[in-house]
Amino acid sequence: IWKLTKRSDDPEARATAIEEAGNCPSGRLVVWNKATGEPIEPVLAPSIVVIEDPGARVSGPLWVRGGIPVESSDGSEYEVRNRVTLCRCGRSENKPFCDATHILVGFTDE
């Protein structure tokens, strides 16, 4: 995706970058419209999905989509985002958000 950003004036490269950024479940990859300065985000219905990664043989985070508010244990709300991933392994250094530690520790929910 990083190489595509340098070619963002090419419609094909731009479309591919938008698609790839939209496939990032955590929302850390975001494409911005150069003309408006607004983010280009996929339209996601409010939903929560369990991510599994059979290729890596690990269980991944919860994928929270569509602007569902996330609250901390003390009741304060995090910034509402279109997509975030929440830790399920309990080992993230960025709780409640996933930092991919589940891969390093080989977390499975079985």
pTM of the model: 0.87
Q: What pLDDT is recorded for position 46?
A: 99
Q: How far apart are CA 27 and CA 11, in angstroms?
A: 22
Q: How far apart are CA 1 and CA 9, in angstroms?
A: 14
Residues 57 and 88 in one domain: yes
Residues 51 and 81 in one domain: yes
Q: Which residues pair with 84 in a beta bridge?
A: 64
83 sits in which H/E element: strand 83-86
Q: How far apart are CA 101 and CA 61, in angstroms?
A: 10
Structural domain range at position 6: 2-40
Domain count, the chain: 2
**56-104: per-residue pLDDT in tens?**
999 999 999 999 999 999 999 999 999 999 999 999 999 999 999 999 9
Note every long-range contact of 36-39, with CB atoms under 8 Å and residues 24 or more positions apart, other chains counting: none
* 32 belongs to a structural domain: yes
